[in-house]
Amino acid sequence: MYPQIPADFPGVFFLGNTPEEEAARYAALFCVEKRLNRQGFHRIAGVDEAGRGPLAGPVVAGAVILPEAVYLPGLADSKVLSPKKRACLAEQIFATALTWSVGVASVAEIDALNIRCASFLAMHRALEALRFQPEYVVVDGSAIPDLPLPQTGIVRGDARVAAVAAASIIAKVTRDRLMEDIHREFPQYGFSRHKGYPTREHFESLARFGPTPHHRRSFGPVKSLLKEPFIK
């Protein structure tokens, strides 16, 4: 069974949502899991990645199996949450999930394989690292190639499926922490602020200092800079 949230529950509402609307939004996140439960699947893993678009840093995938009754107020796609709320929810997910894990594909693997294949590699690693094998996998976007498990890919699954939303949060929080580590190594690039994404600040630091070992040299903006002299 899935929790029916009281209309006055003290969760974090989305802007403009009444308590009733937020309760309905939260309940709707479990529709896919409930349908799969009725088909006999109970260990359902949600999978999502963070870091396809940046010019630097790894791509990280999260995999989460939630209990069939779980209370995570404010659970949503990581992209619509503040860093503080993401971190808070990540700790709740770590504490309440039946099992969770992350998988990482390195910059070298991204450059060798391409970002799409590297993202799927990270997803495979996340699923393999779970404490037990899921019975079914729900992934944000496209289905995972060569996965020996039943699965469904759902467009915008991170906003529509509870376990996928949870996976998106732990993937994003984990990747952001890795980028904080890279920032301490190369503070002049501002990685703690842009997390490797192609912002104006990032382009300016790339033009001035050139790529670091953490930059994806197969990505056009970085590749083009490798052919130009840098301002010292």
Residue 38's domain is classified under what CATH number?
3.30.420.10
Mean pLDDT, rounded, of the chain: 90
- Asked whether residue 232 is assigned to any structural domain, the reply reads no
- pLDDT: which is higher, 85 or 14: 85
CB 153 within 8 A of CB 136: no
CB 180 within 8 A of CB 37: no
- Asked whether residue 206 is assigned to any structural domain, the reply reads no
CB 137 within 8 A of CB 149: yes
Provide the pLDDT for residue 161. 96
Residue type, 147: L
* Stretch 114-133: mean pLDDT: 98
- Asked whether residue 49 is assigned to any structural domain, the reply reads yes
- Asked whether residue 34 is assigned to any structural domain, the reply reads yes
* pLDDT > 90 in the chain, percent: 82
pLDDT tens for residues 41-85? 999 999 999 999 999 999 999 999 999 889 899 999 999 999 999
Q: Which domain holds residue 138?
A: 19-184
Q: Which residues pair with 139 in a beta bridge?
A: 47, 153
The pLDDT confidence band at residue 232, using thresholds 50, 70 and 90, is: very low
- Asked whether residue 86 is assigned to any structural domain, the reply reads yes
- pLDDT: which is higher, 100 or 68: 100
What is the spatial distance between Cα 26 and Cα 29, in angstroms, rounded to a whole number? Answer: 5
- Asked whether residue 2 is assigned to any structural domain, the reply reads no
CB 47 within 8 A of CB 126: yes
* Stretch 101-106: mean pLDDT: 98
Give the total number of structural domains in the chain. 1
pLDDT tens for residues 131-182? 999 999 999 999 999 999 999 999 999 999 999 999 999 999 999 999 999 9
CB 33 within 8 A of CB 163: yes
- Asked whether residue 222 is assigned to any structural domain, the reply reads no
Provide the pLDDT for residue 18. 83
Provide the pLDDT for residue 214. 97
- Asked whether residue 138 is assigned to any structural domain, the reply reads yes
* pLDDT > 70 in the chain, percent: 91
| pTM of structure | 0.89
Provide the pLDDT for residue 227. 65
